[in-house]
Structure 1
């Protein structure tokens, strides 16, 4: 058996390439959209991708199963569980609980594991040349290392009212069945630490059934279903805005993107024309460089792991946008964006000094300057972290307005006061500061050290 774990750090998303070397056949599970990765693995190992599978209709990324199928001619095997409302709306071979996929001398048994979503399935792998006992289970967003999938996304992100408690109870039942699997079976989940698909995902890529039963919090509620449901639904992070779009696009027919696009560097004239019309500008430079000089109205989303997530919060899928980035960054940035379906990039520019537009700067505060503003009359301090982080500990007097929903709550910001913002370590605060400037709040000060520096200095925090 050939096995490769393919991990996208930008979305903390895992996919899997599993092949039978004897027959030269392979299956890809939960493919990312820039699927040239799997074609390269197949070519390097003299294998043909014959099967493509998904664990569920994803909400956190745009699956590349259809692109991969279009290029390879492989068959897509997708869940037909969960009822009529949870069916894929394009051609595929439907899978039910107990079905068996044969990939050369390997078999994958389908396990219906509802909870995160009604149609969720896992794949129990047996490597028959070696043993007739299962050796791996691919759980998607069902069981993670140290955590489990959240059942509230359908309701919070996609608007399916009344589904989260039902999903939590389905998850409880699914976990009881999972615990009956042999303890030695390796667990390979769909996400790792940093994903918004759970509360406390572990950083290691895999585990075993036995280890999870012992250490994962979700298995510690024997004979206490209500306690499990209450804890599972409590304190889940805010789901990114783009999740609803992903849930839709992964279910319906959509245009395919077979190759990674090569975006053009814009001429001054073309940029000026778009800028004059108010096109959205995403500046991917560091927060320090952005603070020194940036184009008026541009939004600073740095080229870091969370770049795509924040673009998914901020950008409109129906409108074009331009990046400010170096040419060498563009392949990586384009891949990050296409993984969540943000395909409307008009192009990019590298140097803002060549555009002929007078730049602006942003005011950054150090911790001593920030302390001066706390408690002053006429100052509004805003903490732009999520509610869970804020409730766990915040600076007295700071108001919580999450950066992802900031533009929906501009009415909560008092233009008659001096505005001081912060987050955990400055990355979200620079997004917030640029969003506020774009919306007419020009005199916003940013304490870039954030709660990380505040806590390191052991200053007092409040709990909610």
Structure 2
């Protein structure tokens, strides 16, 4: 048996290829939308993808299940659990609790584990050529290394009302009846790692075991004592922001993401053509350089989506393709980087591109408006906007600052005043440039705090923390 993990550092997301080397059959679990890595892998290993499946309706990225099935002719398997509100809207084989996908000599058994979402499945994997019981579980967003999938996303991203409490109780029961019923030696391979917004304290290592989590995970004592109320309170406390784009991902993944087919190279535009498209407002200019480079000067109205780190997530903070119908014009180093940025952005459903440029040439540029920490107090009636996570804000913030996370600020811009100077900051400046440029393009002028919060602290400015109740 072959079990290969593909990890996307951008979205902290893992997908898996399981292959039977005796028959050449393979299944891919939780694929992303740029599918070249899976096609390359099966070619390397002499396999063919006969099945594609996913653990649940994802919120943080657009599923590649339909894309990969279209490219390979593989059968699609999705959850048939969760009730009518969580039924997939495209043709596929429906999996119910204890159903099995057969891949050569390998058995992949679905187990219904509601909690993170009502339809969530995990997959118990048995290498039939070696054993007659499962040795591995692909746990999706149910059990992570050292943590659990958050049960509040339906409230935060899908319009639910207080579903988090039932979800937390469902997680408790799923742990008890499915996860802890497995032998300690079973290896656990989750769908996310550290940095994902699908949990609050995910471990950075790739896998764990049932026994290790039973002994050492924070939730173990609550399960051992049967303390449902304590478990629910601890699970729901301190969850990170659910980014606004999660709601779109939920809808598109439930209904079925559009199939892109083979992706072509992007076209490089010459200076005159690029200038004409920008002047006519036919494109959205996207500056992928470092935050400092964008602040030094970029095209008026440009979005900032740095081509380092969290490109897909940052892109989804700044671009809502349901509202923005103009194609993106990428400012990059070269053609390969343009393809790399495009491949990251299609993971969150940003699919339309006019091409790329590698130089600003004679295009007009403007620097970002910034303000030194010591000058903020001189502004009359300033509105200070903190775009960090709630936990960062709680650790200390600029006195009087209002917090709206960078992943929500464009959608919650009606909460910003029209008659006050808006001063924005994050921790070091990377998230802030994404948020501030998105607000500027939306017609909301903002001034960035130089050095962001770290600059504020280094300048010896006062810090406020919430008063304990």
TM-score by length of 2: 0.90
Q: Deviations over 1:102-143 (max 9, x none)?
A: 211111221110111111111111112222232110011111
**Secondary structure at the counterpart of residue 315 of structure 2:** helix
**Secondary structure at the counterpart of residue 311 of structure 1:** helix
Name the count of aligned residue pairs: 458
User: What is the CA–CA distance in structure 2 between the aligned matches of 1:375 and 1:206, rounded to whole Å?
Assistant: 52
The structure-2 alpha-carbon separation of the partners of 1:253 and 1:455, relative to structure 1 and needing over 3 Å to count, comes to same
CA RMSD of aligned residues (A): 2.4
Deviation at 1:385, TM superposition (A): 0.9
Stretches of structure 2 that go unaligned for 5 or more consecutive residues are none
Residue 348 of structure 2 corresponds to residue 348 of structure 1: no
Q: Deviations over 1:375-409 (max 9, x none)?
A: 86554433221333212322333332333333433
Counterpart of 1:214 in structure 2 is: 215
User: What is the CA–CA distance in structure 1 between the aligned matches of 2:460 and 2:41, rounded to whole Å?
Assistant: 48
User: What is the CA–CA distance in structure 1 between the aligned matches of 2:106 and 2:135, rounded to whole Å?
Assistant: 11
User: What is the CA–CA distance in structure 2 between the aligned matches of 1:410 and 1:51, rounded to whole Å?
Assistant: 45
The structure-2 alpha-carbon separation of the partners of 1:124 and 1:455, relative to structure 1 and needing over 3 Å to count, comes to farther
Q: Is the 8 A contact 1:62 1:250 kept in 2?
A: yes
Pairing of 1:168-207 with structure 2 (within 5 A) = 168-177=168-177, 178-207=179-208
Q: Is the 8 A contact 1:429 1:448 kept in 2?
A: no
The structure-2 alpha-carbon separation of the partners of 1:372 and 1:254, relative to structure 1 and needing over 3 Å to count, comes to closer
User: What is the CA–CA distance in structure 1 between the aligned matches of 2:388 and 2:406, rounded to whole Å?
Assistant: 7
**Secondary structure at the counterpart of residue 148 of structure 2:** coil
User: What is the CA–CA distance in structure 2 between the aligned matches of 1:159 and 1:195, rounded to whole Å?
Assistant: 21
Q: Is the 8 A contact 1:127 1:135 kept in 2?
A: yes
Deviation at 1:240, TM superposition (A): 1.7
Counterpart of 1:160 in structure 2 is: 160
User: What is the CA–CA distance in structure 2 between the aligned matches of 1:294 and 1:396, rounded to whole Å?
Assistant: 31
The structure-2 alpha-carbon separation of the partners of 1:440 and 1:338, relative to structure 1 and needing over 3 Å to count, comes to closer
**Secondary structure at the counterpart of residue 403 of structure 1:** coil
Residue 332 of structure 2 corresponds to residue 325 of structure 1: yes
Q: Is the 8 A contact 1:375 1:397 kept in 2?
A: no
User: What is the CA–CA distance in structure 1 between the aligned matches of 2:383 and 2:92, rounded to whole Å?
Assistant: 54
User: What is the CA–CA distance in structure 1 between the aligned matches of 2:141 and 2:93, rounded to whole Å?
Assistant: 21
Deviation at 1:174, TM superposition (A): 0.4
Counterpart of 1:276 in structure 2 is: 279
Pairing of 1:18-33 with structure 2 (within 5 A) = 18-33=18-33
**Secondary structure at the counterpart of residue 250 of structure 1:** helix
Equivalent position to 2:315, from 305, 311, 314: 311
Deviation at 1:16, TM superposition (A): 0.4
Counterpart of 2:254 in structure 1 is: 251
The structure-2 alpha-carbon separation of the partners of 1:76 and 1:439, relative to structure 1 and needing over 3 Å to count, comes to closer
Deviation at 1:30, TM superposition (A): 0.8
Counterpart of 2:85 in structure 1 is: 85
Stretches of structure 1 that go unaligned for 5 or more consecutive residues are none
Structure 1, 381-390 or 90-99: larger mean CA deviation:
381-390
**Secondary structure at the counterpart of residue 147 of structure 2:** coil
Residue 244 of structure 2 corresponds to residue 241 of structure 1: yes
Pairing of 1:12-411 with structure 2 (within 5 A) = 12-177=12-177, 178-222=179-223, 223-278=226-281, 279-318=283-322, 319-320=325-326, 321-327=328-334, 328-352=336-360, 354=361, 356-364=362-370, 369-374=372-377, 378-407=381-410, 408-409=412-413
**Secondary structure at the counterpart of residue 339 of structure 2:** helix
Equivalent position to 1:462, from 455, 460, 465: 465
**Secondary structure at the counterpart of residue 138 of structure 1:** strand
The structure-2 alpha-carbon separation of the partners of 1:254 and 1:5, relative to structure 1 and needing over 3 Å to count, comes to closer
Structure 1, 230-239 or 378-387: larger mean CA deviation:
378-387
Q: Is the 8 A contact 2:373 2:456 kept in 1?
A: no
User: What is the CA–CA distance in structure 2 between the aligned matches of 1:12 and 1:331, rounded to whole Å?
Assistant: 20
TM-score by length of 1: 0.91
Q: Is the 8 A contact 2:28 2:53 kept in 1?
A: yes
Q: Is the 8 A contact 1:374 1:381 kept in 2?
A: no
Residue 11 of structure 2 corresponds to residue 4 of structure 1: no
The structure-2 alpha-carbon separation of the partners of 1:453 and 1:443, relative to structure 1 and needing over 3 Å to count, comes to closer
Residue 438 of structure 2 corresponds to residue 430 of structure 1: no
User: What is the CA–CA distance in structure 1 between the aligned matches of 2:46 and 2:415, rounded to whole Å?
Assistant: 59
